[in-house]
Amino acid sequence: ALESLAQGQRMEALGRLAGGVAHDINNVLQAVLGGARLISKRSQDPALHRIAQLISEAAERGGAVTRRLLAFARRDNLEAEPVQVPALLEGVREVLAHSLGASITVTLSLPPNLPALLADRPQLETVLLNLAINARDAMGSFGGELRLFAAAVIVPEGNAQGMRQGHYVRLEVADNGAGMDAETLRRATEPFFTTKQKGQGTGLGLAMAQGFCEQSGGALEIHSAPGDGTRVTLWLPQAPAATSVTRPLGARPVAQER
Ligand code: ADP
């Protein structure tokens, strides 16, 4: 527990730092973009136009990174609502079918009568898409199979992942890609840890996913081994039956007190 407290404080400090950095960098990027626009407008030289365009594109990419950083820093602004899992995962599958490319098959397995979960839906979608992008990167150009899976689970007592007793929905994103070696797996959820080439990864995907799960009253688990692919499990609390009230997160989810 002491270790997870220290980890929590570290995440909070990092979140604040990330937020400040993202904000400052964003201001710089706005100035760069403004300058590039001005060059385009004032100059007739096609070569200069091309350069201005490259500057804009680079600044836009930087902007995407700072947006992710800000999202990471603002984890406390989550709004939990009951989320119907089939609709959620069908929607995610739809997006993935269009964006992952033909070499990757997306399969979805859902048991009947799955209860709703309680979480911030847009953030959860972002987390799932980030996990799918990681899966795609791990499967490389040969492609493979990305599996989305959900189940209702009762956790009978508090466990090592820091989860409390309660009713949960387990969401899994699994791939049959390269998998992670032990060191990568150990560090995978560390903010800014990435094994990807410069510009390809921010190292925030799994850190955000874990932060999101914990803030939602759940947990994140990763199983992975070289050659065996990767399975990322999100444990999220079930929504209390027959309610559709939206409320900010922070208080203990009702589902965990049953
Ligand atoms: P990023 O994707 O930007 O590197 P993440 O926090 O999402 O940041 O992931 C951290 C690292 O964990 C990745 O660089 C990669 O080495 C490893 N990783 C994440 N997801 C997978 C996966 N599905 N298969 C193999 N390795 C993965």
118/173 Cα distance (integer angstroms): 18
Report whether pLDDT(258) > 80: no
User: Interface pTM (ipTM) of the complex?
Assistant: 0.99
pLDDT score of 38: 94
Report whether pLDDT(255) > 80: no
Say yes or no: CB of residue 69 within 6 Å of ligand 1. Answer: no
256/258 Cα distance (integer angstroms): 6
Side chain identity, residue 47: A
What percent of the chain is predicted at pLDDT more than 70?
Answer: 86
Q: Which residue has the higher pLDDT, 79 or 161?
A: 79
- In the reported structure, the alpha carbon of residue 196 is separated from the centroid of ligand 1 by a whole-number distance in angstroms of 8
Q: Which atom of ligand 1 is nearest to the CA of 193?
A: 10
74/184 Cα distance (integer angstroms): 26
144/173 Cα distance (integer angstroms): 13
| Cβ-contact 109, 142 below 8 angstroms | no
pLDDT score of 257: 38
Say yes or no: CB of residue 202 within 6 Å of ligand 1. Answer: yes
pLDDT band at 129 (very low <50, low <70, confident <90, very high): very high
65, 175, 194, best to mutate for ligand 1 pocket (most atoms within 8 Å of CB): 194
The CA angle 101-117-111, to the nearest 5 degrees, is 65
- In the reported structure, the alpha carbon of residue 37 is separated from the centroid of ligand 1 by a whole-number distance in angstroms of 35
Say yes or no: CB of residue 175 within 6 Å of ligand 1. Answer: yes
- In the reported structure, the alpha carbon of residue 109 is separated from the centroid of ligand 1 by a whole-number distance in angstroms of 24
Location of structure tokens 């903010």: 191
**159-185 burial code (b ≥16 CB/10 A, e <16):** eeeebbebbbbbbbbbbbbbbbeeeeb
33-37, 73-77, 95-99, 199-203: the lowest-pLDDT one: 73-77
- In the reported structure, the alpha carbon of residue 254 is separated from the centroid of ligand 1 by a whole-number distance in angstroms of 32
99/115 Cα distance (integer angstroms): 28
pLDDT score of 149: 97
20-24, 44-48, 175-179: the lowest-pLDDT one: 20-24
